[in-house]
Amino acid sequence: MMNYICYDCSSRYSLESNKWKCDCGGLLNLEYEKKPVDFTKTSLSRDHSLWKYIDALPFEKEDVWQEITLGEGDTPLIKISENVFAKAEYYMPTLSFKDRGAVLLIAIAKKLGVERVIADSSGNAGTAIAAYGARAGIQCDIFVPDSTSSKKIKQIEAHGAIIHKVPGTREDTARAAIAMVENTQSFYASHIYNPIFWEGTKTYVYEVFEQMNGKMPDVFIIPVGNGTLLMGAYIAFQELMENGQIIKMPKILAVQAENCAPIVKSFTEGKYTVEPVEGSGTLAEGIAIAAPARGTEILEAIRATGGDIIGVTEKSIVLARKELALKGIYVEITSAANYAAYLQYVEKYPELNNQQVVFPLCGAGLKSN
The model's pLDDT over 44-101, given as tens digits with 9 standing for 90+, comes to: 999 999 999 999 999 999 999 999 999 999 999 999 999 999 999 999 999 999 999 9
Residue 368 confidence (pLDDT): 84
Res. 12 pLDDT band, cuts 50 70 90: very high
CATH of domain 77-95+198-367: 3.40.50.1100
State how far the Cα of 260 lies from the Cα of 285, in Å rounded to an integer.
10
pLDDT at 343 over 90: yes
Average per-residue pLDDT in the chain? 96
* pLDDT mean over 287-302: 95
Res. 122 pLDDT band, cuts 50 70 90: confident
The distance from CA 131 to its chain's CA centroid, rounded to whole angstroms, is: 17
Tell me which residue of 84, 65, 85 sits closest to 76, measured CA to CA.
85
What three-state secondary structure class fits 353?
helix
State how far the Cα of 303 lies from the Cα of 313, in Å rounded to an integer.
23
pLDDT at 349 over 90: yes
Res. 144 pLDDT band, cuts 50 70 90: very high
Could you read off the pLDDT of 173-223 as tens digits, one per residue? 999 999 999 999 999 999 999 999 999 999 999 999 999 999 999 999 999
User: For the residues of 51-83, what is the DSSP string, one character each?
Assistant: GGGGGGSSS-SSSTHHHH------PPEEEEETT
Tell me which residue of 337, 338, 346 sits closest to 317, measured CA to CA.
337
The distance from CA 75 to its chain's CA centroid, rounded to whole angstroms, is: 15
User: For the residues of 226-252, what is the DSSP string, one character each?
Assistant: S-HHHHHHHHHHHHHHHTTS-SSPPEE
Q: Write the single-letter amino acid at 172.
A: D
* pLDDT mean over 315-344: 97
Considering the chain, what percentage of its residues have pLDDT values greater than 70? Answer: 100
Could you read off the pLDDT of 243-282 as tens digits, one per residue? 999 999 999 999 999 999 999 999 999 999 999 998 788 9
Task: Measure Cα distances from 133 to 122, 143, 159, 171, 212 in Å.
Answer: 17, 15, 8, 23, 33
Query: Angle at CA 360, nearest 5°, toward 277 and 149?
Result: 60
- Strands 84-88 and 357-361, how do they pair? parallel
